[in-house]
Amino acid sequence: MHKILVVNPGSTTTKIALFTDETQVSSDVFRHDAAALQSCGRLWNQLDLRWRVVHSWTSQHVQEVSAVAAIGGLLRPLEGGTYTVNERMLADARHNLQGEHASNLGCALARRLAAAYGCPAYVVDPVSVDAEHPLFLMYTSGSTGKPKGCQHRTGGYLAYVTGTSKYIQDIHPEDVYWCMADIGWITGHSYIVYGPLALASSSVIYEGVPTYPDPGRVWRIAERLGVNIFHTSPTAIRMLRKAGHDEPLKYNYHFKHMTTVGEPIEPEVWRWYYDTVGKREAVIVDTWWQTETGGFLCSTKPALDPMKPGSAGPGMPGIYPGILDEMGEVLPLGSGKAGNIVIRNPWPGIMQTIWGDRERFVNQYYRKYCKNPQSKDWHDWPYFAADGAVLAVDGYFRILGRVDDVINVAGHRLGTKEIESACLTVEEVAEAAVVPVVDEVKGRVPEVYVSLKPGIQPSKEIVDKVNRAIETIIGKIARPKHIHIVPDMPKTRSGKLMRRILAAISNRGATGDITTLANPDVVEKVREMVQGKEPIAVGEVADDIKQFGKED
């Protein structure tokens, strides 16, 4: 690990801004490279061009993001390897981004271009822009869904991520903060680049699989760099737990604060995160938010609100969430009924629109619960998040996952996350995924996939344990049609489980493009375990199953 030194704005002191695997970069080089990018950006902006940056976890890309923002450019990041430029993005480019410069804008390239076009490479003032000026586009969708370019504004977004970084993640200039996300995702934008750097924190930028070359790599880095704030996803937590359950206890690091983000976390996994990773010393904030929202929407406030395993907590200060049923009726506190979580008020971090598709923006996020489409009053336009949730009597929200990820079994709505949580109470189980499968009598029933902790062999005893756990915690209505013990789950390169692919296997459907998965070979292994070695004809799959997991 090397240190990158930068001078804090408005200060004469030098501090560490980034820890990275790269070659050491001095503060002069850091500023020079960013200035070169700004210079080229000025030229390209004059030509009415736009920026596209292909990201990985490197300091160079932090410079690129910062430089594009400084000159008022519109950034369009692509997370390296998770998806390729598809037809939707190309259509956006043809329609809206005339003459787009498509190169990966490395610092060395920027310096060469700056010299070639006579742009000054080291004296460039930032451009002052309106608060509503677009800052970046963040594309989000599943591997088969139609990607949407979420357009975020400059002023409101920056204010919101800075505020939530300060008051929810408790980041201070003297802290060493590590968010294990990719800069190309919204988490990386909000909580690696903009929020933490605005607070002058020292951040760790990490590239690679967290369990390679051994399960101790993450904890070794934390010990070595003195990390005291740790931020990661439930998927990564499950991966680390599976790879080395007791590994964190071997290292002398001490976190004061830990964040979990991106998807619901099962109570059993939460407890391991608190007991083993945090060593019962760190506060946990289990945040809920989305690419579209810019920053956290639900979370406990560290040291002020009680922690609750598996619960995202109350609404953020200034955020007013609620639970509505399909008819738009409010589900009260403690009803125990699952409904759709909505946000009843606007907030600074919310996206401005879907790039090039205003109608889709309104239809997808606001039309569902709007009772008066002619109204100009924001009270009449609650934000529909498309996530299911339950509101407890204490005002804490438990997020159940996408509303598409609910299985209707003989008229009973079962959240897949609830069933997965039940599976993870079985000691031998490391990961669980639940998908719908067609049933002639009940319509749809759950089918369960589990992978086991290292060193544990599959057995009928484990299958029986999982069945009992589901029936005991949820009820016999949730009993799965089959339980498959698999060697691994199909995952994206960021470690997210692709339930869509498992649903396709269970229902004899087409798995679609799997080339961008981190482990595409596992798909055929799982297919053989479920369907048999001989390839079978791909059949037509019901629309609701096609939609299942598309936002993974």
In tens, the pLDDT along 20-66 reads 654 334 334 444 455 554 444 444 443 333 444 444 445 666 666 66
DSSP annotation string for 109-140: HHHHHHHHTT--SS--PPPP--TTSEEEEEEE
3-state secondary structure of 257: strand
Residues 6+ apart with CB under 8 A from 189: 65, 77, 136, 138, 161, 183
Of 474, 420, 475, 479, whose CA–CA distance to 450 is shortest?
Answer: 420
Cα-based torsion angle of the residue sequence 395, 398, 404, 407 in order, rounded to the nearest 10 degrees: -110
Strand order through the sheet with 397-402: 321-324, 339-343, 383-391, 397-402
Which pLDDT score is estimated for 236?
Answer: 85
Phi/psi-derived region of residue 77, left when phi > 0, alpha when psi is between -120 and 50, beta in every other case: beta
Phi/psi-derived region of residue 520, left when phi > 0, alpha when psi is between -120 and 50, beta in every other case: alpha
Place of tokens 């586009």: 137
Which pLDDT score is estimated for 208?
Answer: 75
CA distance 285 to 255: 13
Token readout for 454 is 């290292």
CA distance 52 to 41: 11
Residues 238, 188 contacting (CB under 8 angstroms): no
Token readout for 45 is 């902006």
Backbone dihedral angles phi then psi of residue 402, each to the nearest 5 degrees: -60, 145
Of 19, 11, 106, whose CA–CA distance to 55 is shortest?
Answer: 106
CA distance 410 to 90: 42
Which pLDDT score is estimated for 313?
Answer: 93
Which pLDDT score is estimated for 393?
Answer: 94
- Count CB neighbours of 500 within 10 A: 27
Name the strand (E) or helix (H) holding 341. Answer: strand 339-343
Which architecture, in CATH terms, is 402-547? Answer: 2-Layer Sandwich (3.30)
Place of tokens 């004899």: 508
Which pLDDT score is estimated for 6?
Answer: 38
Residues of the chain with CATH 3.30.300.30: 402-547
Token readout for 381 is 């336009």
Alpha-carbon distance values, 331 to 399, 516, 551 (Å): 15, 40, 25
Rg (CA), the chain: 24
Place of tokens 């061009």: 49
Which pLDDT score is estimated for 46?
Answer: 38
Place of tokens 């956006």: 92
Which pLDDT score is estimated for 326?
Answer: 86
Of 331, 489, 372, whose CA–CA distance to 420 is shortest?
Answer: 489
3-state secondary structure of 463: helix
Of 133, 209, 199, 130, whose CA–CA distance to 165 is shortest?
Answer: 199
- Residues with pLDDT less than 70, the chain: 1-126, 141-147, 404, 410-413, 441, 493-495, 537, 543-544, 547, 549-552
